Amino acid sequence: MLDPLELSRLFSCAQQPVLGTDGARILFSNPRAAAAFGFDPTGREVQELIPPEVFGCEAESYVCAVRLCGRAASVSVSKQAEITLLFVRFTEETQPAMYLTRGFFSNLRNSMTGLKLAVDRCCRTDAAESENREKYIAVLYHYYYSLLRSVTQLDSADQLERGEMLFTPVRTELVALCADIADTVAVLCAERGTAVQFTTAEGELYAVVDPDRIEQLLLNLISNSLQHTKPGGKITITLGQSGSRIILSVDDDGDGIPPEKLPEAFSLPADPEEPGAAGGGLGLGLYIASGIAQLHSGILLIESQADRGTRVRVMLPADGEPAPKFKTPETAYRVEGAGKVLTALADALPSACYGPKYED
């Protein structure tokens, strides 16, 4: 067994909190951990500090978004022999969302330029351009939704940062919610040759959630998968229940998240001049998804391997309490057209997926 004393010395100079545990107790913690928690956690029972779901993964290394001592945190887990190492990053210490303003305006300029070019093409009267008018109209719609996506993402990140995101949990049937979203996404993704499948063993599955926020969370995860999955790839959405937890998973067979980037998956992009470096957009998808999971007292966990894909699991409590002002016993999910999906996936779908045909 690795010597906790040696590990403590090894991580004594680390610039982030590090904990070591055998699954029952905290065997060691570095000085940064004691400063971050406000006390020395060494010797404490693990369940006093760490939700058990953090350890509910068979992978040797992964990262999860969770709340520790009432604070939002990203925890990187590394299993070493009989000791599990936890590298903690409290996300409120990262750059605030509005720091992304320059990145937002870069997206805005690109969208406006694209809109102008497409409008110019549509207004030409020569026969060659007239034949391509439908294509340019699709481009116009695409840039509109891309711009709307940037505004929506930045606004959501700012609301989470300020603690002002609207959150209205009601008893909701999740099978219909996930199935309807997956069906709409599957139709659109067929244009780029990506298969989207929804699977569940449940006939019905009710939970107290905010259906709008769960929809937003799921679409952000799907968008992230699409940006890392080549045409011809596959995305699988799975819904199930294990004990008192509802588990929503999004798996892809894409290029994965580089190991050095995985610990920063839930953080805001550090450089506002390089938004969405991995595939377009502002790079806020996982940050928003993790924030929504935590609003539901849930945990978001990511396993990823280079060139082998990524699996994201959202674990939500099955026994939450609805908002007092709502008296109806349950809320059925209702499809309101493809607008939300077209907006959420604007950074990942081609222009061929857009146009009047989806504006019903």
- pLDDT, mean of residues 87-101: 66
Give the position of tokens 């894909």: 309
Lowest mean pLDDT among 43-47, 181-185, 337-341: 337-341
Instruction: Tell me the β-bridge partners of 29.
Output: 19
- pLDDT, mean of residues 60-82: 89
Q: Which CATH number fits domain 4-93: 1.10.3720.10, 3.30.1490.190, 3.10.20.30, 3.30.450.20?
A: 3.30.450.20
Per-residue buried b or exposed e for 4-41, using 16+ beta carbons within 10 Å of the residue's own CB: beebbeebeeeebbbbbbeeeebbbbbebbeebbeeeb
112: confidence class by pLDDT, cuts 50, 70, 90: confident
Domain ranges of the chain: 4-93, 97-162, 170-348
Lowest mean pLDDT among 86-90, 107-111, 295-299: 107-111
- pLDDT, mean of residues 320-336: 50
69: confidence class by pLDDT, cuts 50, 70, 90: confident
Most confident of the following: 171-185, 255-269, 302-316 = 171-185
pLDDT reported for residue 301: 95
Torsion of CA 94, 246, 240, 205, to 10 degrees: -130
Percentage of residues in the chain with pLDDT exceeding 70? 83
DSSP for 282-303, written as a single string: -S-HHHHHHHHHHHTT-EEEEE
| Helix, strand, coil percentages, rounded to 5, for the chain | 40, 25, 35
Whole-angstrom Cα distance, residue 84 to residue 35?
21
pLDDT in tens, 187-211: 999 888 899 999 999 999 999 999 9
Whole-angstrom Cα distance, residue 29 to residue 85?
10
Q: How far is CA 95 from the centre of its chain?
A: 18
User: What is the overall mean pLDDT for the chain?
Assistant: 83
- DSSP annotation of 43: T
150: left (phi over 0), alpha (psi -120 to 50) or beta: alpha
Residues ≥6 apart with Cβ < 8 Å to 147 = 107, 108, 111, 112
Q: Where are the alpha helices (DSSP H) in 124-202?
A: 127-131, 133-162, 174-189
Residue 61: pLDDT over 70:
yes
Residue 266: pLDDT over 90:
no
Q: What are the two backbone dihedrals, phi and then psi, of residue 175, each rounded to the nearest 5 degrees? A: -60, -50
For the beta sheet containing 71-80, the strands, ordered from the edge strand earlier in sequence to the opposite edge, are: 26-29, 18-21, 83-90, 71-80, 61-68, 299-305, 309-317, 245-252, 234-242, 195-200
Q: How far is CA 223 from the centre of its chain?
A: 9
Q: Which residue has the higher pLDDT, 106 or 345?
A: 345
Helix 285-295 vs helix 211-227: crossing angle, to nearest 10: 150
290: confidence class by pLDDT, cuts 50, 70, 90: very high
Nearest CA to 104 among 276, 231, 243?
276
pLDDT in tens, 333-346: 444 567 889 999 99
Percentage of residues in the chain with pLDDT exceeding 90? 39
Protein fold of 170-348: Heat Shock Protein 90 (3.30.565)
Q: Which amino acid type is present at position 31?
A: P
Whole-angstrom Cα distance, residue 33 to residue 40?
7
Residue 185: pLDDT over 90:
yes
Most confident of the following: 11-20, 191-200, 252-261 = 191-200
Q: What is the pTM of this model?
A: 0.84
Residue 24: pLDDT over 80:
yes
pLDDT reported for residue 92: 65
- pLDDT, mean of residues 200-225: 95
Give the position of tokens 């058990």: 52
Residue 225: pLDDT over 70:
yes
